[in-house]
Structure 1
Amino acid sequence: MLRRILTAILITAILLPFLFFGVLSVGQAWFYPSILPQRFTLSNWQELLVGQSELQLSLLLSLLLGMGVAILATLAGFVISKEIARAKYKNRWLLLAYWPFVLSPVVLAILVQRFFLLTGMSGEVIGVLLGQFILAFPFAVIFFQSFWTYEILQMEQQSQTLGASAVYTLQQVLLPLAKPLLLICFFQTFLISWFEYGLTQFIGLGKIKTLTILVFKYVNEANIFHAALASLLLMLPPALLLWLNKKFVFRGI
């Protein structure tokens, strides 16, 4: 009985934000002290689905940046983490990988801003992508260190000793073993990009309006209905990735 009650409380806590933002996203003219908006309309959703609205473009941009950062960080992190695992001064390299997380994203953006200004990437999508990659790549390197155990490295060496090429060993030995971790790292680095605000705002100069930037913009403008819709869209991918992790990834580990 207690377990059912706790489960019901947990499910309610998870679904309540979605329900709350869902109601506000179709609301209109909400005045104190009313609990619910006075009127309801689908105009906000129609604006998202039809035409090229600011919200629609921000959603597509966030998805593009998230996918790009996740793919680049996962692949680069997998390769570089292997080299670090074999390196003589492994711990020193890993210590460097933790450096971006010691600083806040805004402070980190200030430190690297001169590079983006000199290269002309400030206020550009490629600049924001590279800035988010600075955060996601070290995470991927640290994440994959647990995969490159002594047994895995010996297995790779034994495969090549038996005559297998490096490409064959990668495709037939390493990738099948690392597949669950690759998926998890992809999901995690996607979320790093998806929720990133400080560095994106600073390097993007306010021109690159991702969904996270747009939520804060709507909140500052007291546009609660658009803010609710943007927040709901911001919450959906993590919920979907959590379901995919549970259904496909963790079941295979």
Structure 2
Amino acid sequence: MFRKILLSTLLSAVLLPYVFFGILSLGQKWFYPDILPQRFTLDNWQQLLVRQGELQVGLLLSLVLGVGVALLSTLMGFVVSKEIAWAKHKNRWLLLAYWPFVLAPVVLAILVQRFFLFTNLSGKVIGVLLGQLMLAFPYAVILFQSFWNNQVLQLEQQSLTLGASAGYTLRHILLPLAKPLLLMCFFQTFLISWFEYGLTQFIGLGKIKTLTILVFKYVNEANIFYAALASLLIMVPPAILLWFNKKFVFKGM
């Protein structure tokens, strides 16, 4: 009985934000002390689905940046982490990978802003993507260090010794073994980009309006209905990825 009550409480706590933001995203004219909005309409969702407005562009930008950052950081992290695993001074290189996480993203953006200004990358999508890679790529390198253990390295050496090419070893031995971790890294780095605010705001100069930027913008404008819709859009992909991880990735591991 206690377990059922606990599970019901946890489930309600998880679903409550989705229900709350879903109701607000359909509302209009909400005045104190009313508990619910006085009017419900689909106009806010039409702004997203039909009209080419801020929310539609913000959703597209967030998806492009998230997928781009996830792909690049996963591929580069896998390759670089292997080189670090073979390196003579492995711990020194790993220490460098932890450096971006010592600073807050805004402080990190201030330190590298001169480079982005000099290369004319500030206020552009490619500049924001590179800025987010400064967080996602080191994370991927650190995550993949758990894969390159002695057993995997010896298995690779054995395959090469028996005459297999490096490409064959990569395709038929290393990638199948690393598949669950590759998927996990892709999802995690996607979420790093998806929720990132400080670097995006600073390097994007307010021109690159992702969903996280729009949420703060609508909150500052006291536009609670658009803020709720943008918040709901931010919350949906993590829920989908969590379900996908549980159903496919964790089983593979």
**CA positional deviation for 1:252:** 1.2
Q: Which residue of 2 aligns with 1:215?
A: 215
Q: Which residue of 1 aligns with 2:233?
A: 233
- The letter for the 2-side match of 1:35 is I
Query: What per-residue deviation string (whole Å, max 9, x for no partner) do you get for residues 199-240 of structure 1?
Result: 100000000000000000000000000000000000000000
**2: CA distance, partners of 1:108 / 1:252:** 36
Asked whether 1:115 is paired with 2:108, we answer no
Q: Which residue of 2 aligns with 1:199?
A: 199
**CA positional deviation for 1:251:** 1.1
* SS of match in other structure, 1:17: helix
Root-mean-square deviation (Å)? 0.4
Q: Which residue of 2 aligns with 1:102?
A: 102
Unaligned runs of 5+ in 1: none
**2: CA distance, partners of 1:47 / 1:179:** 39
Aligned residue runs from structure 1 range 119-134, under 5 A:
119-134=119-134
Q: Which residue of 1 aligns with 2:16?
A: 16
**2: CA distance, partners of 1:86 / 1:16:** 48
**2: CA distance, partners of 1:51 / 1:119:** 35
> Given the two structures, how large is their TM-score scaled by the length of structure 2?
1.00
**CA positional deviation for 1:62:** 0.1
Q: Which residue of 2 aligns with 1:247?
A: 247
- The letter for the 2-side match of 1:225 is F
**1: CA distance, partners of 2:46 / 2:25:** 11
**1: CA distance, partners of 2:97 / 2:249:** 26
**2: CA distance, partners of 1:157 / 1:112:** 40
* SS of match in other structure, 1:206: coil
Unaligned runs of 5+ in 2: none
Asked whether 1:26 is paired with 2:26, we answer yes
Q: Which residue of 1 aligns with 2:51?
A: 51
Q: Which residue of 1 aligns with 2:153?
A: 153
Q: Give percent identity, aligned residues only.
A: 78
Query: What per-residue deviation string (whole Å, max 9, x for no partner) do you get for residues 101-138 of structure 1?
Result: 00000000001001100100000000000000010000
- The letter for the 1-side match of 2:229 is L
* SS of match in other structure, 1:222: coil
**2: CA distance, partners of 1:149 / 1:114:** 39
Q: Which residue of 1 aligns with 2:184?
A: 184
**CA positional deviation for 1:51:** 2.1
Q: Which residue of 2 aligns with 1:91?
A: 91
**2: CA distance, partners of 1:21 / 1:233:** 10
**1: CA distance, partners of 2:46 / 2:204:** 28
- The letter for the 1-side match of 2:59 is L
**CA positional deviation for 1:176:** 0.2
- The letter for the 1-side match of 2:237 is P
* SS of match in other structure, 2:36: coil
Query: What per-residue deviation string (whole Å, max 9, x for no partner) do you get for residues 87-112 of structure 1?
Result: 00000000000000000000000010
Q: Which residue of 2 aligns with 1:144?
A: 144
